[in-house]
Amino acid sequence: MSPKVVEIRDLTVKYGSFTAVEGVSFSLGKGTFGLLGRNGAGKTTILRALLGLVRPSGGSLRVLGLDAASDPLAVRARVGYLPEGQVFFPGMTGFQAVAFAGRLSGLSRRVARKRAHEMLYFAGLGEARYRPMEGYSTGMLQRVKLAMALVHDPPLLFLDEPTNGLDPAGRKQMLERVRDLASAKGKTLILSSHILSDVEAVCDEALLLHEGRVLERGLLGELTSAAPSVREVLAAGEESSLRAALEEQGISVLRVERAGPFLKFRVGLPPGAGGREIFLAVSKGGGVVRSLVEARRSLEEVFGETVGGEV
Amino acid sequence: MPVFERGYLELREDERPGRPSWTVLPQEEWASWLRNRKLLILWFVCIVPHLVLLVRTFMALALVGLDGGPARGRGPSPAFLGDPESMAFYAKTLLEDSLLPVLVFLAATAIRTVSLDRKSGALELYFTRPLSPWRYILGRWTGAAMAAASVTALPVLLVWLTGALAAPDWGFLKETLWIPGRILLQGAFFASVLGICAAALSSMSSSVRTGQILWVGFLAVMHLVFSGGLRRFLHEEWPAQFSPWAILQRVGEAILGVDPEVPLSLSWCAALSLLLVVLSLLVLRRNLKPLEVVG
């Protein structure tokens, strides 16, 4: 069993009379984790509490074996944090800001400058690194913030909404790089996002947060797997006849949607039935099965089902 | 292989971070000021009183070299030039002529710093690094104090040094060797009190303009109203103790060993200076609480 990288027990954080996080407990080993929830769910508060920026009203937090409440500076020295929002060092270029962040983390001037170049290239910011940060777009700022989070080569990364403000190509690139950090370089990564597809693209495990509480936790595969008797059938044919033939076999049609020239059925099998019954029913309805797979739920569906309402 | 093709690179063992130091803050602050050409021009404008002092030093030394001074009625009088071997010669520039330079130069430098850090969200970037709020305060205090010293004591020390080097013999150095130590002490006192006050006022708002208005009110308006207007109008000395500059001036005079301009109690002024420092520290710490972001 891998040692715990993050351990939270009964964490409660209050801002005045408002409770932002209540009774949250979880522990994480090495890997990639997603904190998933709507705005105001408590994701940022948990990250800030782990960095010792927010004093918890109750509970305990340990990061890399260190107590985050009593030894926050040691925790921050070992963690790279990409904060949410438009934050930057005023009056500096991207390059100066990353080098400065490195020096604040204890790097020597020479190493900080060398490292700033390397990390800005890695983050995908080219010659723009010599321009003042005041003129940066949100996407460019995100890249600089990623470089700042990585400049001191921390083993643990907290990324708070890392794809905010990035165009689709930039978003894909950012997620690929983040994923690469975990898979190729062995970094442990906690990604907080309200964009479910970002978490799906990067993380192995996710925590669903709602109104300051953990609703569900699990491997993404487990979270998104549907009931074992549910299948997804891609078929060619007439919708009404196929539906009638399936129902005649005792197979319940849960959902039908068009997928290009085909129909995508989500069906529930009766006890004892299998793929054979589906093939027979579709054939009887005058159609052809193009594919048959075990159904999976998207994270959106999981979230919607757990929390209720729109995601 | 070019760096952009190498992907993510890990730090080598000999490159690993050492113990983080707060001194990075004033270093970076000063580097950014030195990169700013307008600020360098402003600094030259602010040290005009010191340049005048330098010219007076040269002229006074030239008169000494003239073996008894110029012929009667010709050239500047020795009374106007003053005596570079006495502390009174430097004290006026340090204690009276420095008000305007300090006011202007710190408004353009130190007063902007914390305000801009708040406005740009940089405080969050600082406090997610291994930097505690107190170390941040120490860094900003040092930066502001250096800014204050750069338009008060440091140029005066350079004037003294230039005088010592330009003097015709070692007599000047022997006679004035005690002066730089006192100037340094007075400069450190002025710079540290003014520096922490500037940083505290800067932290009170994320608007630079508001910080500058507060600074002018704190230093210039209070001095004009209490030490200038009210004191003269009432023919009493007590209103001067409400002017921070007059308080610093009184302690500065004692450090330099010159006659006091305003006869306020020295121990009272020292206590008020200490109170200013403590209050400023508390204000700064209070205004640097991490932002409460719910998310």
**CA dist A129 → A97, A100, A103, A181 (Å):** 9, 13, 17, 22
Domains A6-222 and A226-307 share a fold: no
- The fold adopted by the segment(s) A226-307 is Alpha-Beta Plaits (3.30.70)
Judging by DSSP bridges, how do beta strands A32-36 and A205-210 pair with one another?
A: parallel
B-proximal residues of A, 93-152, CB under 8 Å: 100-108, 111, 115, 117-118, 121-122, 126, 148, 150, 152
Judging by DSSP bridges, how do beta strands A213-219 and A205-210 pair with one another?
A: antiparallel
- The fold adopted by the segment(s) A6-222 is Rossmann fold (3.40.50)
* ipTM at complex level: 0.85
* pLDDT at A292 > cutoff 90: no
Chain A residues whose beta carbon lies within 8 Å of the beta carbon of residue B4: 121, 126
CA–CA separation, A228 vs B83, rounded Å?
Answer: 99
Contact B294 A15 (CB under 8 A): yes
> Would you give per-residue pLDDT tens digits along chain B (295 residues)?
555 556 788 888 888 888 888 999 999 999 988 888 999 999 999 999 999 999 988 888 876 655 555 555 555 666 677 788 889 999 989 998 999 999 999 999 999 999 999 888 899 899 999 998 899 999 999 999 999 999 999 999 999 999 888 888 888 888 899 999 999 999 999 999 999 999 999 999 889 999 999 999 999 998 999 888 888 888 888 888 899 999 999 999 999 999 888 788 999 999 999 999 999 999 999 888 655 443 4
Interface of B to A at Cβ within 8 Å reads: 3-4, 6-11, 15-21, 24, 28, 32, 116-117, 119-122, 124-132, 290, 292-295
* pLDDT at A43 > cutoff 50: yes
Residue A2 banded pLDDT, cuts 50, 70, 90: low
Contact A42 B121 (CB under 8 A): no
Chain B residues whose beta carbon lies within 8 Å of the beta carbon of residue A127: none
Judging by DSSP bridges, how do beta strands A230-236 and A262-268 pair with one another?
A: antiparallel
Question: Do the beta carbons of residue A80 and residue A189 sit within 8 Å?
Answer: no
Of B6, B117, B293, the CB nearest to A48: B293
Predicted pLDDT at B77: 67
Backbone angles phi and psi of B209, in degrees to 5: -60, -45
Contact B120 A152 (CB under 8 A): no
Mean per-residue pLDDT for A289-311? 70
Q: To which residue do tokens 């121990």 refer?
A: B267
Q: To which residue do tokens 């009931």 refer?
A: A227
CA–CA separation, B206 vs B111, rounded Å?
Answer: 11
Q: Look up residue A240 and give its two tokens.
A: 């009404």
Q: Can you give the length of chain B in residues?
A: 295
For an interface test with A, which of B4, B5, B8, B207 has the most A Cβ atoms less than 10 Å from its Cβ?
A: B8
Contact B130 A184 (CB under 8 A): no
Q: Where are the alpha helices (DSSP H) in A124-274?
A: 138-150, 168-183, 196-202, 220-224, 239-248
Contact A40 B294 (CB under 8 A): yes
CA distance A291 to chain B (A): 39
- The domain spans of chain A are 6-222, 226-307
Predicted pLDDT at A6: 93
Contact A90 B122 (CB under 8 A): yes
CA–CA separation, A287 vs A274, rounded Å?
Answer: 18
Partner residues linked to A206 by β-bridges: A34, A218
Predicted pLDDT at B227: 84
CA–CA separation, A115 vs A105, rounded Å?
Answer: 12
Which of A291-305 are b and which e, b meaning 16 or more Cβ less than 10 Å from the residue's Cβ? ebeebebebeebbee
Predicted pLDDT at B295: 40
Tell whether pTM > 0.90.
no
Identity of residue A208: L
